[in-house]
Amino acid sequence: MSRILVTGADGFIGSHLTEALVRGGHQVRAFVLYNSFNSWGWLDQCADDVKGKFEVFAGDVRDPHGVRKAMEGCDRVLHLAALIAIPYSYHSPDTYVDVNIKGTLNVVQAARELGVDRVIHTSTSEVYGTAKFVPITEAHPLQGQSPYSATKIGADQIALSFFSSFGTPVAVLRPFNTYGPRQSARAVIPTIITQIAAGARRIKLGALHPTRDFSFVEDTVAGFVAALRSPGVVGTVTNIGSGFEISIGETARLIAETMGADIEIDCDEDRLRPKNSEVERLFASFDRARELMGWTPSYGGRDGFMRGLAKTAEWFADTRNVGRYKADRYNI
């Protein structure tokens, strides 16, 4: 048993990860974004077997003093707090620099000062940009094709620089396109599911031709847990992916099939990225994760993707869940 700080614990992946760590017997301090509503994000709807079994710290990763206070007494840190919406980064890039880069600096600086055993920093497949070769290994060049991805490249490098400069035990985990229950409707899979669940049969999407490597949230969480116990990941970057590549258009058709709906797709100009900012292709190699952590996806390949979609659609089919989304609006 160890005491683990999870930043971004109120978010999509962070809430699932918090639940998994509690069930694994860890003492968890969930760092959530302070707000006057005293909302803990998705942790307000956490599973019954987890409720009351974790500590909550409300703060802001942009505040170095609060980050250090939250980390006191913790052995390990899972740093997931970030701004992640790509369209929002086009008109508010300053905020992304503050949260993603400065926030990460605050985390690794506090970890260095407090002597924590390990920091797992969360990256993103968006740092690779459009694939120059596939499957994408960790040696692939980094390309900042949006302000979001540029700040994540900066955050990754800040984290790794503390390993090189000070020996801070930092590892970078790089998930590819995580999806599943609780994901924001700014992401493509919930966008499709919520529109269908609301009764729409003409679905509004952006570009249909780009391909993605979608990883079910249970696999991503398992990757974080594996990274906690695997010393070989320290000082390096490790991809987490499904080993399956699919276009956005085909994804929409599979979701419609899963939900028993006949749909047509309309291209919404507002949802298109600028031409040179669109990431055309993502397809992960997870060889390093298998070698260093013994991790492989349980929802890999087309069959695994279909099983993950079914679980996701089932969650959104619950009116208590889908009612939290605004399916008739474009969420950036």
User: What burial class does residue 167 get, using C-beta atoms within 10 Å of its C-beta: 0-12 exposed, 13-18 middle, 19+ buried?
Assistant: exposed
DSSP 124-178: -GGGG-S-SSSSBPTTSPP---SHHHHHHHHHHHHHHHHHHHH---EEEEEE-SE
Distance CA 148, CA 46 (A): 28
pLDDT for residue 331: 84
Tokens 């390309």 belong to 143
The residues with which 233 forms a beta bridge, in sequence order, are none
Amino acid at 328: D
In contact, 147 and 89? CB cutoff 8 Å = yes
The pLDDT score that the predictor gives to residue 1 is 63
Q: Residue 118 pairs with which residues in a beta bridge? A: 76
Instruction: Work out the angle between the directed axes of helices 188-197 and 301-317 (0-180°, nearest 10).
Output: 50
The CATH 3.40.50.720 domain(s) of the chain lie at: 3-179+216-240
- Which residues in the chain are classed under CATH 3.90.25.10? 188-212+244-282+300-322
Q: Of 116, 127, 133, whose CA–CA distance to 7 is shortest?
A: 116
For domain 188-212+244-282+300-322, the CATH class is alpha beta
Beta strand segments in the chain, E: 3-7, 27-33, 55-59, 76-79, 118-122, 170-175, 178-179, 202-205, 211-212, 215-216, 237-240, 246-247, 264-267
Amino acid at 116: V
Distance from C-alpha of 3 to C-alpha of 318, rounded to nearest angstrom: 34
CA distance 316 to 302: 21
CA distance 2 to 29: 11
Could you list the pLDDT tens digit for every one of the 332 residues in the chain?
A: 689 999 999 999 999 999 999 999 999 999 999 999 999 999 999 999 999 999 999 999 999 999 999 999 999 999 999 999 999 999 999 999 999 999 999 999 999 999 999 999 999 999 999 999 999 999 999 999 999 999 999 999 999 999 999 999 999 999 999 999 999 999 999 999 999 999 999 999 999 999 999 999 999 999 999 999 999 999 999 999 999 999 999 999 999 999 999 999 999 999 999 999 999 999 999 999 999 999 999 999 999 999 999 999 999 999 999 999 998 888 88
- Fold for domain 3-179+216-240? Rossmann fold (3.40.50)
**pLDDT of amino acid 298:** 98
Q: Residue 278 in 3-state DSSP?
A: coil
